[in-house]
Amino acid sequence: MPRTEAIKLTDYSSIGTPWAELQPCDDKPLIVLIGEFGAGKSLLAERLFQRLIKQAEESSNAPVPVYLKAKKLTSSLQEAVEAEIRKLPGASIAQGVAVIIDGADELGSDLAVQLCDEACVLVNAWLKTTVVITSRPIPTLVESEEAVQVPLLSDEEAYALVERFSGQQITAYAALRWSQSVHDAIHRPLFAVLLGIYLRDRDMIAPSSVGELLSNLVERSLQQARASNPNVEQLLQHLAALSTDRSKGLVSKTEVASR
């Protein structure tokens, strides 16, 4: 998503609001937010983290806020959290820690489950400590007692978001012209945004499928990439080859750029 559109989404306060049931508490210090691609998990986690930062600014007794990307973890969860706390002058584990971990599913099923196990140990070992983990659906995590489903948008919320990005009024009658797959998809915030952009750029002519929305996103991204790097197609082909040859693990940026 383009930066300007992403900023516009963050300004839309009704999307990604961390409701009470989506936040940890004394009785439930560990929460795993489960949602499909585009459901707004990361936005919700970031809004929750912003709230934690504000609390820490207002009270020296508030838990220390820590935000981690799961795919960047190179040590145990406890070690990673302790490393982040050491970066904050005056912060102490004794005051409690509020940890947000985004994208557990990107680790793969086994490591995601291990991460949740480590989080469970952490919240029980440290006083006043909570952990929120976001993940796409993974069977073991979905079935856990810590799992909470990220709610989908209502029709009214989805139409309002499409309207905001398309710049045109969206009514239930207008939505009848959309395919069922598109209508179902926009109950996830990302797809409502993508549809709004698509309609804005195509004189309100709706796509026939979700695939068209994603293709449009890719094309827009490529156009921006071409502006800064004319060899983007060659780099993507190299990335595709490296990804195909690799049985497991991520392909680093340095490997892609080495060609």
3-state class of 101 per DSSP?
strand
Residue type, 203: D
**How far is Cα 92 from Cα 123, in angstroms, rounded to an integer?**
15
**How far is Cα 43 from Cα 190, in angstroms, rounded to an integer?**
10
Give yes or no: residues 61 and 143 share one domain.
yes
Among residues 105, 129, 149, the one where a domain terminates is 149
Which burial class, exposed, middle or buried, applies to 66 when counting CB atoms under 10 A from its CB (0-12, 13-18, 19+)?
Answer: buried
Give yes or no: residues 115 and 101 share one domain.
yes
Give yes or no: residues 34 and 122 share one domain.
yes
CA-to-CA dists, residue 254 to 22, 231, 241, 258, 259, angstroms: 38, 15, 15, 6, 9
Give yes or no: residues 45 and 116 share one domain.
yes
**How far is Cα 19 from Cα 17, in angstroms, rounded to an integer?**
6
Q: Which residues pair with 132 in a beta bridge?
A: 31, 100
Buried b (16+ CB within 10 A) or exposed e, 173-194: ebbeebeeebbebbbbbbbbbb
Give yes or no: residues 242 and 165 share one domain.
yes
Give yes or no: residues 43 and 87 share one domain.
yes
**How far is Cα 223 from Cα 218, in angstroms, rounded to an integer?**
9
**What is the number of domains present in the chain?**
2
Count CB atoms within 10 A of the CB of residue 195: 28
Domain of residue 88 covers 20-149
Among residues 114, 149, 184, the one where a domain terminates is 149
Give yes or no: residues 106 and 80 share one domain.
yes
Give yes or no: residues 70 and 133 share one domain.
yes
Q: Does residue 254 fall inside a structural domain?
A: no
Give yes or no: residues 159 and 213 share one domain.
yes
In the block, tokens 């209502």 appear at 154
Task: Please give the helix or strand (H or E) that residue 34 lies within, else none.
Answer: strand 30-34
One pLDDT digit (tens) per residue for the chain, 259 residues: 555 665 566 566 556 666 778 889 989 999 999 999 999 999 899 999 999 999 999 998 899 999 999 999 999 999 999 999 999 988 899 999 999 999 999 999 999 999 999 999 999 999 999 999 999 999 999 999 999 999 999 999 999 999 999 999 998 888 999 999 999 999 999 999 999 999 998 888 999 889 888 887 777 766 665 555 666 567 666 667 776 766 556 666 666 566 5
Give yes or no: residues 162 and 58 share one domain.
no
Among residues 124, 149, 174, the one where a domain terminates is 149
Token reading at 129: 């400590």
Q: State residue 90's pLDDT score.
A: 87
Give yes or no: residues 220 and 144 share one domain.
no
Half-sphere exposure of 95 (CA within 13 A, CB side): 15
Say what the pTM is.
0.79
